[in-house]
Structure 1
Amino acid sequence: MAKTNAGRFFEDYTVGETIRHAVPRTVGAGERALYHALYPARHALYSSDAFAQACGLPQSPLDDIAAFHVVFGKTVPDISLNALANLGYAEGRWRRPVYAGDTINSTSEVIGVKQNSNGKSGVVWVRTKGHNQHGEVVIDYVRWAMVRKRDTEAPAPETVIPDLKSALDVGDLVVPDGLTFSEYDFDLAGEPHRWGDYEVGETIDHVDGVTVEEAEHMMATRLWQNTAKVHFDVRSRPDGQRLIYGGHVISMARALSFNGLANAQMVVGLNGGAHANPCFAGDTIRAWSEVLDKAETGTPGVGALRLRLVATKGGAPFSLRADDGKYLPDVLLDLDYWALIPV
């Protein structure tokens, strides 16, 4: 009897089933240090316990995107081990901060399936929740992936496509308990710009760039226990290249956005996202942002910005799509998220 796991294929998913993912992960200060070694992350709330405590938190949390990686990584063996592509995200919410010492585990509910017309693959939608050791949800989000079929002759399931919000309302966002920006130190944060200094429609070129190398990508993907074959095994792609994990691009772009958005401290909502084109070692990632919306949260002194974060591999800033509506070939990531910022 075979004891190894080849992973799930498209015909193995049933709408309504809940999958408990192995393996629980206790995070520590080491994850924060390694995250800052892998990316040029400098947001003060995630760099300093003292700064976080001045903002009403008990200590500096694990970076929001790092917490997302931990939750996401748990799901890969069950959801995207045999995926051809991770297609998008929606309705993502950070419910509470993750701190050193927390143990994170993940579950996913299958909420949609649709076989592709070629009969060789299909799209699977899942709603994933990350829980801490107290059973509290720390993150939940929807993602969908294109997954290979094991048997191309297997009958197509009934198509179910979930009805998802195009964007979260500000009322959907969770401001962490105790968070206050009343004693916020703009000098230590690195920039003077407040919520009121940003205008809807404004675009920001984050200026800096980082060339992606195999070593950092492989270390990051292992750190998050992401086992997707396309990130490790050169035989998994016809071109013989290891695909850079999309989350690696997200983290790099978010870190680069510090230059111009240093006070957009906490990511609390993920409205949507697309990995527009593949990223490979040797590509230089640059980033720009557009302010899509802004709102007051109901917590005094805490505002929210809805931001489009675009990562490119050298393309001109503020260019996104060609005349036919398709992403330009230099665009790697198009991410739509909400962040908290001092008013």
Structure 2
Amino acid sequence: MAKTNPGRFFEDYTVGQTLHHAVPRTVTNGERALYHALYPARHALYSSDAFAQSCGLPGSPIDDLAAFHVVFGKTVPDVSLNAVANLGYAEGRWLKPVYAGDTLRSVSEVIGLKQNSNGKTGVVYVRTRGLNQRDETVMEYVRWVMVRKRDLDAPAPEIVVPELKKALAPNDLVVPEGLDFTAYDFALAGEPHRWGDYAVGETIDHVDGVTVEEAEHMLATRLWQNTAKVHFDLTFRPDGRLIYGGHVISMARALSFNGLANAQIIVGLNGGAHANPCFAGDTIKAWTEVLDKAETAAPGVGALRLRLVATKGGAPFALHGEDGKYLPEVLLDLDYWVLMPK
């Protein structure tokens, strides 16, 4: 009897299937230190217990995207081990901060299937929840992945494409309990720009860039226990090991500090696309467009909806070509909500 696990292929999924992902993980400040070593991450709320406490939290949480990567990484052996590419995200919500000492596990439900016309691959839609040691859902999101077929003659399943929100409404967002920005220290945060200083339609060139190194992206992918073969095994991707999309997301978010230092907390993920592959040697740059603004009930706290675009060259603020497709230099198009002092 075979003891090894080749991973699931497209024909192994059924709509309604629940996947309980293995290997819960207790996060520590080691994750924070490694995350800040891998990316130029320096948002004050995630760097200082004292700063977080001045904002009404019990201490500094683990970075939102670090927690996301832990939850995401749990799902890879069951969802995307045999993936060709991770295609997109929707309906992502951060529901509770994650602190050092919390233990995270992941559960996913298959909510859609669609075989591709080539008959060799199909798209799998899953809704994933990350839970802590108290069985509280700390985050949830939908993603869809292109997965290889094991048997090309296996019949195509009934097409089920879930209806997903194009964007979360402000009342879908969950503000961390106790968050209060009325005594926010802009000098310690690094920039003076507050919620009222941003206008819908405004664009921000984040100026800085970071060249992706092979060793760093592989360390990051191992850190999050992401086992997808395309990130490690050149026989699956002869043109180069594909950079984990989460690595690009975190790099772009960290680069956005220059211009959005006070966009402290990510609370919603409206949509996202990994527009083109990223490989070692590419230099990631980023720009942002402000899409929307909203009030919250929390004291001194406003919400901004932002479009974060990561590129590997080209002029800022260019996204699509005349054919409507992403320009080849665009790596990431991410639509998300953040909380910021008013």
Amino acid at match of 2:272: G
Question: Partner residue of 2:68?
Answer: 68
What is the CA–CA distance in structure 1 between the aligned matches of 2:282 and 2:238, rounded to whole Å?
19
Q: Please name the residue that 1:262 is paired with.
A: 261
SS at structure 1 position matched to 2:219: helix
Q: Mapping of 1:124-163 within 5 angstroms? A: 124-163=124-163
- Write the deviation string for residues 282-327 of structure 1: whole angstroms up to 9, x where unpaired: 0000000000000001222110000000000012100000011000
After superposition, residues 134-213 of structure 1 pair within 5 angstroms as 134-213=134-213
| 1:173 Cα offset (Å) | 0.2
Provide the TM-score with structure 1 as the length reference: 0.99
Whole-angstrom CA distance in 1 between matches of 2:96 and 2:156: 39
Aligned equivalents of 1:300 and 1:323: distance in 2? 45
The CA RMSD measured in Å over matched residues stands at 0.5
- 1:81-96 counterparts in 2 under 5 A? 81-96=81-96
What per-residue deviation string (whole Å, max 9, x for no partner) do you get for residues 205-241 of structure 1? 00000000011101100000000000001111132x1
What's 1:30 paired with? 30
2:155 & 2:281 partners in 1: Cα distance? 42
Post-superposition Cα deviations, 1:243-271, rounded to whole Å, max 9, x if no partner, equal 10000000000000000000000000000
After the TM superposition, list the runs of 4 or more consecutive aligned residues in structure 1 that deviate by more than 4 angstroms: none
* Equivalent position amino acid for 1:198 in 2: Y
Partners of 1:109 and 1:171 in 2: CA distance: 24
Question: In 2, Cα distance between the equivalents of 1:202 and 1:339?
Answer: 16
Q: Hey, what does 1:107 align to over in structure 2?
A: 107
Q: Once the 2 structures are TM-superposed, how far is the Cα of residue 19 of structure 1 from its aligned partner?
A: 0.4
Q: Name 2:245's counterpart in structure 1.
A: 246
Question: Structure 2-normalised TM-score?
Answer: 0.99
Structure 1 gaps, min length 5: none
Aligned residue for 2:338, secondary structure, equals strand
Query: Aligned residue for 1:3?
Result: 3
SS at match of 1:89: strand
Which SS does the other structure have where 1:316 is aligned?
coil
CA distance in 2, matches of 1:293, 1:333: 19
1:235 aligned counterpart, secondary structure: coil
Measure, in 1, the Cα distance between the counterparts of 2:291 and 2:94. Answer: 19
Give the % identical residues.
82
> What SS does structure 2 have at the residue aligned with 1:307?
strand
Aligned counterpart, 2:14 = 14
Aligned counterpart, 1:119 = 119
Shift of 1:200: 0.1
How much has 1:17 moved relative to structure 2?
1.0
Partner of 1:276: 275
d(CA) in 2 for partners of 1:235, 1:193: 48
Structure 1 residue 231 corresponds to structure 2 residue 231: yes
Aligned length: 342
Whether contact under 8 Å (2:179, 2:299) holds in the other structure is no
